[in-house]
Structure 1
């Protein structure tokens, strides 16, 4: 059993999820600290996102997909572009399922806007995690492994 657990922990998917959780923590800590310094919600969200994306890129590049150092700038541009693309998807889903057509989800939760937002957020994040992994694996980190 322990051997199977260790084998799973060595997989690319596990490492991706592990460093994804760390990137989320980096985002949360950064956002809180930046907000404490600036008292600006939007500014703290944008800066924390940038910090988390940079953290995620380097951990994915070095530890998840084990890329060679050559081509790092190209991978970084692709990575940021992919993250911006999935951000647009996130915003579109929130706009359509929470702001414009909340009854699609609301019919199942007594039309509670808070529940609609929570369910849409969960759905959106699962979809984005999967898409980010697929994009990273097949579009961004396609070079030789170290």
Structure 2
């Protein structure tokens, strides 16, 4: 049984999900923390995404896709390019669901803007995590150790 569990935790998709959860925690911590200090949701989203992208690259490069050390700068550029595409999706969702139409989510959370922001961020992160896996798998990380 222990061997099966250990084998499960060596599977790329499981490792990606763990890395994704860790990246999402970093993203949420930064986004929620900064939103108390800066009320501009687009700025907060950009900062949170930038830090999450750097963290995600390190985790995916080293632990998920187990890349050789050589060539990491090019992988970082490719990874960042792919993440910028999904960043656009995140910023668009933040603008749409928090700034423009907060009542869409607000009706379910007593129009609490903090909760609207949290739910919008969660929706965005689920869509982004799936997109990023396929971009990483087929576009960025190809050089196994």
Using the size of structure 2 for normalisation, the TM-score is: 0.70
Q: Describe the superposition over 1:105-138 as per-residue Cα deviations: whole angstroms up to 9, x where unpaired.
A: 2333343333322211111122222222221112
Corresponding residue for residue 74 of structure 2: 74
> Unpaired runs of 5+ in structure 1?
none
Following TM superposition, by how much is the alpha carbon of 1:9 offset from its aligned partner in structure 2, in angstroms? 0.7
Structure 1 pair 111/135, CA: closer, same or farther in 2 (3 Å)? same
2:49–2:87 Cα contact (<8 Å) kept: no
Corresponding residue for residue 105 of structure 1: 105
Q: Between Structure 1 and Structure 2, how many residues are aligned?
A: 135
The worse-fitting range, judged by mean Cα deviation, of 9-18 and 95-104 is: 9-18
Corresponding residue for residue 119 of structure 1: 119
The worse-fitting range, judged by mean Cα deviation, of 105-114 and 88-97 is: 105-114
Hey, what's the Cα distance between the residues in 2 that align with 1:117 and 1:55? 22
Q: Describe the superposition over 1:80-107 as per-residue Cα deviations: whole angstroms up to 9, x where unpaired.
A: 1122222221111011011111222233
Corresponding residue for residue 10 of structure 2: 10
2:130 is equivalent to residue 130 of structure 1: yes
Structure of greater Rg: 1
2:24–2:125 Cα contact (<8 Å) kept: no
Give the superposed CA RMSD. 3.3
2:27–2:52 Cα contact (<8 Å) kept: yes
Hey, what's the Cα distance between the residues in 1 that align with 2:105 and 2:140? 34
Corresponding residue for residue 58 of structure 1: 58
Following TM superposition, by how much is the alpha carbon of 1:11 offset from its aligned partner in structure 2, in angstroms? 1.0
Using the size of structure 1 for normalisation, the TM-score is: 0.69
Hey, what's the Cα distance between the residues in 1 that align with 2:115 and 2:26? 26
Corresponding residue for residue 139 of structure 1: 139
